[in-house]
Structure 1
Amino acid sequence: MTGGAGGTGRMDAWVVARPGPIASRPLERTRLPIPSPGPGEVLVEVEACAVCRTDLHLAEGDLLPRRPRTVPGHEVVGRVAASGPDATRLAPGTRVGVAWLRSTCGLCRYCRRGVENLCPASTYTGWDADGGYAGYLTAPEDYVYPLPEDAPAEKLAPLLCAGIIGYRALLRCDLPPGGRLGVYGFGASAHLTAQLAVAQGATVHVLTRSAKARELAMALGAASAGGAADAPPEPLDSAILFAPAGELVPVALAALDRGGTLAVAGIHLSDIPVLNYQRHLFQERTLRSVTANTRADGRGYLDLATARPPRVTTVPYPFDAADQALEDLATDRVEGAAVLLR
């Protein structure tokens, strides 16, 4: 980076230049002006940005771009470098996190009833506005989370999406106290969510295709770990599908006990096969999606993670290797969460 903050210099950044298969190198490294914070916004200098599967979906075109040459990244740890007009809550130098949800209207029926994640006018970091694969980004002050000073940025970054969305998925799956939870897929979000469920007294069964992920699951307290399509050793009260694989929906539904709930946590999912009513849905089984998160979810999860820090398994990458990090994520070579470090 050269020059000062807030539009007076330039910064290194990665943009989604040509959405397509990750092997086609859809990310392009470039130089961009350092942005200036608008009304109610802060400028954040990036320390670290975790690499989310949503970034991969955007790069590959599964998630349609909302603007050309967007800078991805929405699990950002950094420090406030400058404030725009009317932004007075966060002083320069404050350590903060910038997450997926960037703004909502605050006026619609969804916002008014506390489900701002369903706001039709909601916007998202690294999709509607440039994200954290850069030296700086701007974000509305009201959607930024203060973070502790004493934790490494590498370990905090995955909490800002993987942790928060996993927390919401855990709420959405209606896991009863001391219940039996199935976790399908075991990447960044799942490995944090499983720890939270175990800490709350649940019995967790992990189903994933990766042998290394199964080893990690057992090390983190899972009661069992099997293949993605395997039957768990006992009926499940609840399940969360983290893998973007629609073919696992009937598998997970069939594993539910009577009255069980399956929550699908991804923003993108391949097609779901035809369901059999008797086998997959009868006996009051429930299938539901998870859509983004509210700020209350973010605050709730980060408070829990601060009080009882999870074991965050990360693979660090230099900022120069953002394209390699996405490729490794696409080919299941990342155990836990990939994190770009500046």
Structure 2
Amino acid sequence: MHGEPANRPPARQTGPMQAVTMTAVDEIAAGQRPDPEPGPDEVLIKVQATAVCRTDLQILRGDLPTHRLPLIPGHQVVGEVVSPGEFHGRRVGLVWLAHTCGVCSFCTSGRENLCLNAKFTGWDRDGGYAELVTAHKDFVHPLPDGDATALAPLLCGGVIGFRSLRVAGIGPQSAGARLGLYGFGASATIAIQVANFWGCEVHVVTRSPAEVQRAYDLGAAWAGTYEQPLPTQLDAAVTFAPSGDVVISALKALDRGGTVAINAIHLDRIPQFDYDDLWWERSLRSVANVTRADVRDFLAVVDSARVQTQFEVLPLENAPVALERVESGDVRGAFVLVCD
């Protein structure tokens, strides 16, 4: 999926770039940073759009351990390569996985998402809350033409939702499968479109009437709140809410042999539950990161399924406000940051 940017950004003068930087837990502000210099096997990317992810908030709040300071967050990045070389002028995307060792037992068995020495965009490396970002050339993903702001939310919520479906046992072979989605934020609104494309019968459990209606608008067979009983048992479920209680609700809804995939990098305590809830070969699985193959396969499905993203565009300097709104639940879809 190679493509040139539909609207190439104007040439940028060298000098301090605009960026939003985390300097300590709970401390983040807009300002200037020196332009980054790409190292060996790296490219320099002019950022066109970066989507905000709840993981960015969890890093800021200290729910995830701090890996470096100061840190420029952001791992759903769309931009154009501006450094010389084979990638020059290409539109590319960056995702959470920024680098792997390539030699450990996980990397050599198709499980690079579990690499013991993995590095992550916006956590170990500076991310896309900036005008410029560097990345390893083997971990940039060619993107198609189109609106950069619409593409950015695909690069974490979309890809990790896609992997979560796979972990739950859902794929092109799953026509007719009864799938539950617990929580209906940005990732779930993309996952439902993929699941519908694969012919699943999707049931959505969420908090608010507005999200229930949104689920129906996106093709849910049934949608309701956590207080309402599901109309059927489920063959598979994906939980998106960072709540252990939700995991148990999904587990209790499974039919025999079903799987719950937990789409969360941080989760509160899972309550004690009866073994009968797990009996009959039901299973609980976590979802950790993504692989480059996940990204390629997902982007191919996006084309076929005509996946649409919902987002609100904000200027880069409003990133702290966007994170506060994510924390309070004042978001529909995703926030996407753009430079002036």
**TM-score > 0.5 by shorter chain:** yes
Match of 1:9 in 2: 15
The one-letter amino acid paired with 1:39 is P
Aligned partner of 2:29 in structure 1 is 28
**How far apart in 2 are the matches of 1:19 and 1:186?**
28
1:307 is displaced (CA, Å) by: 3.2
Moved more, 304-313 or 102-111: 304-313
1:154 to 141, 149, 156: 149
Deviates more, 1:206-215 or 1:156-165: 206-215
Q: Secondary structure at the match of 1:45?
A: strand
Match of 1:130 among 126, 137, 145: 126
Distance 1:233 1:315 in 2: 34
What residue identity is the alignment partner of 1:304?
V
Asked if residue 115 in structure 1 is aligned to residue 111 in structure 2, the reply is yes
Q: Which residue of 2 aligns with 1:308?
A: 305
In structure 2, the residue matched to 1:23 is none
Distance 1:284 1:56, change over 3 A: same
**1:314–1:339 Cα contact (<8 Å) kept:** yes
Task: Supply the RMSD in Å over aligned alpha carbons.
Answer: 1.4
1:12-59 Cα distance to aligned partner (Å, 9 max, x none): 111122323xxxxx3211211110111111111111000001001111
**Number of aligned residue pairs:** 326
**Counterpart of 2:324?**
327
Measured in 1, the distance between the counterparts of 2:86 and 2:177 equals 41
Q: What's the offset of the Cα at 1:211?
A: 2.2
Rounded Cα–Cα distance in structure 2 between residues aligned with 1:40 and 1:258: 49
Pick closer, same or farther for the CA change 1:261–1:229 going to 2, 3 Å. farther
8 A Cα contact 1:49 1:74, kept in partner: yes
Identity %: 46
* 4+ runs deviating over 3 angstroms: none
Deviation at 1:213?
Answer: 1.6
- The match for 1:165 is 160
Q: Relative to structure 2, which stretch is displaced further, 253-262 or 330-339?
A: 330-339
Q: What is the one-letter code of the residue matched to 2:16?
A: R
Matched ranges for 1:113-262 at <5 A: 113-149=109-145, 151-175=146-170, 176-262=174-260
- The alpha carbon displacement at 1:125 in A equals 0.2
> Alpha-carbon deviation of 1:116?
0.4
- 1:308 deviation in Å? 3.1
Letter paired with 1:293: V
| Matched AA of 1:48 | A
Equivalences for 1:265-304 in 2 at 5 Å?
265-278=263-276, 280-304=277-301
Flag the 1:171–1:283 CA change in 2: closer, same or farther, 3 A: same
| Rounded Cα–Cα distance in structure 2 between residues aligned with 1:229 and 1:275 | 19
Q: Could you state the TM-score of these two structures normalised by the residue count of structure 2? A: 0.93
Separation in structure 1 between the aligned mates of residue 332 and residue 223 of structure 2, nearest angstrom: 15
2:95 corresponding residue in structure 1: 99
- Look up the SS of the partner of 2:314 in the other structure: strand
Q: CA deviation at 1:229?
A: 4.9
Q: Distance in 1 between matches of 2:164 and 2:228?
A: 22
Q: Which amino acid aligns with 1:18?
A: A
Amino acid at match of 2:192: A
Unaligned runs of 5+ in 2: 1-10
Letter in 2 for 1:17: T
If the length of structure 1 is used for normalisation, what is the TM-score? 0.92
| Letter in structure 1 aligned against 2:91 | R
Match for residue 48 of structure 1? 49
Whether 2:58 is the aligned partner of 1:57: answer: yes
Q: Distance in 1 between matches of 2:218 and 2:105?
A: 40
Tell me how far 1:306 sits from its aligned partner: 2.5
Structure 1 runs not aligned, ≥5 long: 21-25
